Amino acid sequence: MSGGATGWRRLVRMGAPRATKANALATVLALLLGFAIVTQVRQTRSEGLDALRQTELVGLLDDVSQRSDRLDKDAAQLRRTRDELVSGGASDREARKAARERLSSLEVLAGTVPAKGPGITITIGDPRHEITDSVLLDALQELRDAGAEAVQIGPVRVVASTYFGTAQDGTVQVDGVGVRPPYRILAIGDPHTMAAAMAIPGGLAENVRQLGGHPTITQSQTIHIDALHSPPAHRYAQPVPTATPTQ
Amino acid sequence: MIPAIGMVVGILVGLLFHPTVPVWMQPYLPIAVIAALDAVFGAVRAVLDGIFNDKVFVISFLSNVVVAAFIVFLGDQLGVGSQLSTGVVVVLGIRIFSNVASIRRHLFHA
């Protein structure tokens, strides 16, 4: 402890003011040192690139240009990826559009959605009850021949599996649903073609007239077919997967 | 005591006047400051060793500063300025550390 005390005492003794020339010089030097420290600290804080040496600047420039090269490469790769994604998205959109069109035409065909469009309305009055299911079946065949795309008989939507029959009391049945005269058939397709097909000699109109019925055929620009068919779930038939159709 | 007050005054003056370092001096000032700090710590150690001498302090201070600046100048001329600056800073840093260790042993016996 005594050594530590001497140390402090020495410091204090030397710290006491002495009016020697050397002490004054030391003071000036210390003043300069403080001034220089502050100046340098300020300089370091404020200085930008202009205080750097040439070699440092060259190194910095090298560094920056290397980094910019790397970033350029990255940007090019990202741009390529983006282009691929964009074109992929476009072909996806095409595929989705085609699939949606297919779906809606199949829905019309399967009778699961309402349909509208130009077509004809056929009304068959049957005062003598001579019209049978086979007459309606013939009418349907002729309509299909003439290009009917959607057909409704009475309240029943006609689809691929539609069948005709006669109940025990003589009522005509379509898909198991009784249909009573006057029979009303709605068909969407080219109105002119279908009307002509109904009117040809030996066609539906003549047949019905021979049986004592009154056929009325009206063409119109908008026919609404809103009867729906609910398809049964298939128990046996399974679709066979095929190769994805290319677009 | 008076030199310490001088240093404080110098710091205050620097804070007040916002001096800028002349361009020719910019590479040398940091090294000169480190060299001067080395001289100051050496002086404190000499005081504690009981061998302090005002004249020696002034001369060592000035010579430290001049030599440090000269080494940096030489390095710049030879194209190894930054490496030589680093070398000088390392050497002076080691000296400052050993001086501070000696001062610490004198004052705290630790």
Residue B80 domain boundaries: 23-108
CA-nearest of A135, A150, A101, A154 to A203 is A135
Q: How many CB pairs under 8 A join A and B?
A: 129
Provide the shortest C-alpha distance from residue A52 to chain B (in Å). 9
pLDDT digits (tens, 9 = 90+) for B8-43: 888 888 888 877 778 788 778 888 889 999 998 998
**Chain A residues in contact with B107 (beta carbon < 8 A):** 4, 7-8, 11
In a domain? residue A7: no
Asked if A55 and B82 come within 8 Å (Cβ–Cβ), the reply is yes
* Chain A nearest CA to B89, separation (Å): 15
- The answer to whether position B43 is within a domain reads yes
Residue B6 forms contact with A (CB below 8 Å):
yes
Could you say which of A26, A40, A55 has the minimum Cβ distance to residue B58? Answer: A26
Q: Is the CB of A9 inside 8 Å of chain B's CB atoms?
A: no
User: Distance between CA A44 and CA B21 in Å, rounded?
Assistant: 10
For chain A, percent of residues with pLDDT exceeding 90: 12
To the nearest whole percent, how much of chain B has pLDDT over 70?
A: 99
Decide if pLDDT at A1 tops 50: no
Domains in chain B: how many in total?
1
Q: What value does the mean pLDDT take over residues A80-100? A: 87
Structural domain count, chain A = 3
Average pLDDT over residues A127-141: 83
Per the structure block, which two tokens stand in for A53?
A: 């040496």
| Domain-embedded: residue B5 | no
**Complex ipTM > 0.85:** no
Q: Residue A32: which domain range?
A: 16-47
B49, closest residue in chain A (CA to CA) = A7
Q: Looking at the structure, tell me whether residues A86 and A170 fall in a common domain.
A: no
Do residue A101 and residue A122 come from a single domain?
A: no
Domain boundary among A66, A92, A110: A110
Q: Is the pLDDT of residue B1 over 80?
A: no
Query: Using CA of residue B104, residue A39, residue B86, residue B88, what is the dihedral sign?
Result: negative
Please give the average per-residue pLDDT across A180-205, as a whole number.
86
Model confidence at A71, pLDDT cuts 50, 70, 90, reads very high
Read off the pLDDT of residues A9-32 as tens digits, 9 standing for 90 and up. Answer: 777 777 676 667 777 888 888 888
Q: Average pLDDT over chain A, rounded to whole?
A: 83
Q: How far is B16 from chain A (nearest CA, A)?
A: 10
Tell whether A26 is covered by a domain: yes
* Domain match, A127 and A211 both: yes
Decide which of A244 and A58 is more confident. Answer: A58
Distance of alpha carbon A219 from the chain centroid: 38
Strand partners, A119: A188, A220
Provide the CATH number for the domain around residue A174.
3.30.70.1880
Rg (chain A; Cα; Å): 49
Q: Is residue A80 part of a domain?
A: yes
Q: Do A20 and B62 touch (CB under 8 A)?
A: no
Tens-digit pLDDT profile for residues B83-96: 888 888 999 999 99
Q: Choose from B107, B108, B109 for mutation: most chain A CBs within 10 A.
A: B107
B21 interfaces chain A, CB cutoff of 8 Å: yes
| Mean pLDDT score, A138-149 | 88
Q: Residues A154-164: what's their mean pLDDT?
A: 86
